[in-house]
Structure 1
Amino acid sequence: MIKLIQDIFYKMGIIIKLVRPENNKWLQKRNLGYVLDIGANTGQYANLIHKILPNAKIISFEPIKGCYEQLVENTKGINVKAINCAIGDVNEQQEINISAHTPSSSLLPMANLHTEVFAGTDYVKKETITVKRLDDVFPQLKINGKFMVKVDVQGFEDRVIKGGIETLKKADSILIETSFEELYKDQLLFDGIYQLLINIGYAFQGNYTQTFNKEDGRILYAESFFVNTAKN
């Protein structure tokens, strides 16, 4: 039944990821006090990580106005600070492409493979948003403990890293979406993200989840976990 439901949503371009909180003892042992949730959408990850790390303070970044408003509503009652901006390698206003399936929205153009594999995710409009560098935002967050950074920004991952190198050097770990094929034009694929993080002291620990092409089963993208070796 679960597989049937997943397949139905998959055909609609909606990805269902099943991660059981009790399988995250390894993450709980890291004693994280904060989670930076970059690319929060409407609070899906914030609610999940709250179940896994109920005592951690979550700081969620979401640039799209409608999604931000839903994020605030969906995280009432848990320890979340929501910030209405995107994270990148510049401080400026940019236009974001909004998908019919909002988690697929991106500052980058969508590649043909994405629309072929994930039906119903085409862009439907644009919105002007604020983009900020993580290194410029971080001092304002007043973080005084161990923190993890989660990055889910639809092909914009390398920009987040480049604008937040000094912050990432302070982080305990990073959970970042990495692609093995181009789903967004001009995105950096897994090898490039891996090299950027290795260069600042991180070690790849494996993939938390993986998403497959339903046509032939090849892996398209994953949530990859890296640990800061200088901090451990």
Structure 2
Amino acid sequence: MSDRLCTMFNCSRPIKTVLDIGANVGESIQRFRGIWPEAKIYSFEPRPIAFEQLSLVAAQDGNCEVFNLALGEENTDTRIQEYEKAWGGSSFLAGTELLRESRPQWAKDWHWVDVKMSRLDDLKLDLESEIFIKVDVQSYQDFVMRGGMQTFSKARACLVEIYYEECYDGGGTVSSAQQLLNRIGFRMTGKPRVVRRSKANVLSWADILWEKVV
């Protein structure tokens, strides 16, 4: 993903701050560090089991601050569905029949986990420009953006994972994300990663890049 991102985005222009929303176990920290060696990274991951591993990766990185926190549209205590046999897939939204059929391993073993949620705009972060935001939250991206529109408006670019298939009830779409981001001056410029469901050969999800129009 790093090489494809740099092909579509002018990575030579230094990014000073990265917001890694939905950091999981820290894979993206290593990817972004390879692109922007001097950037300050803020990583957000609500699930304790993933956060434990994320914290180890952040400690090795040395310039990453981690938050055991979900981002959304309100400040509250809530619950997330956690799939025991998959690092990914956990969501605040219920999985659909399509998700259960295409990823049966996720449907078998899951439980609710209590987590804290905050609005991004209510957090006091030292965000030095230029800012890059990555969002990977299993169709919950619209809620994240609505709780952080002021922060998103300061960013130069956003990379958002979006499902084309309806895998989560009430999940955001490309159209809904575009409406929110267009409102604050972004335009869609590329898809560094596209994934198809192999058996049906249909577009399942993609990482979509939006850049600020200047």
By the TM > 0.5 criterion, same fold?
yes
- Counterpart selection for 2:111 from 125, 144, 161: 125
Which string of whole-angstrom CA distances, capped at 9 and with x for unpartnered residues, describes residues 127-161 of structure 1? 11000001101xx2111221111000011100011
Percent same amino acid among aligned pairs? 29
Give the residue type in structure 1 aligned to 2:172: L
Match of 2:152 in 1: 168
- Counterpart selection for 1:45 from 28, 34, 41: 28
- SS of residue in 2 equivalent to 1:194: helix
Q: Judge conservation of contact 2:81–2:92 (CA < 8 Å) in 1.
A: yes
Pairs within 5 Å for 1:74-223: 74-78=57-61, 79-99=63-83, 100-122=85-107, 124-137=110-123, 140-223=124-207
Counterpart Cα distance in 2 of 1:117 and 1:185: 15
For normalisation by structure 1, the TM-score amounts to 0.86
Give the residue type in structure 1 aligned to 2:44: F
Deviation at 1:114, TM superposition (A): 1.4
Give the residue type in structure 2 aligned to 1:103: G
- Counterpart selection for 2:6 from 3, 10, 24: 24
Q: 1:22 to 1:199 in 2, by over 3 A?
A: closer
- SS of residue in 2 equivalent to 1:76: helix
For normalisation by structure 2, the TM-score amounts to 0.93
Match of 2:49 in 1: 66
Query: Which consecutive unaligned segments of at least 5 residues does structure 1 have?
Result: 1-18
Q: Judge conservation of contact 2:156–2:212 (CA < 8 Å) in 1.
A: yes
Q: Judge conservation of contact 1:98–1:106 (CA < 8 Å) in 2.
A: yes
Counterpart Cα distance in 2 of 1:108 and 1:23: 28
Counterpart Cα distance in 2 of 1:164 and 1:22: 27
- SS of residue in 2 equivalent to 1:40: coil
**Residue 34, structure 1, aligned to residue 56, structure 2:** no
Give the residue type in structure 2 aligned to 1:124: W
Of the two structures, which has the highest relative contact order with CA contacts closer than 8 Å and spacing of 6 or more?
Answer: 2
Counterpart Cα distance in 1 of 2:93 and 2:58: 28
Query: Which consecutive unaligned segments of at least 5 residues does structure 2 have?
Result: none
Q: Judge conservation of contact 2:129–2:155 (CA < 8 Å) in 1.
A: no
Counterpart Cα distance in 2 of 1:162 and 1:171: 15
Structural RMSD (CA): 1.5
Count of residue pairs the alignment pairs up? 210
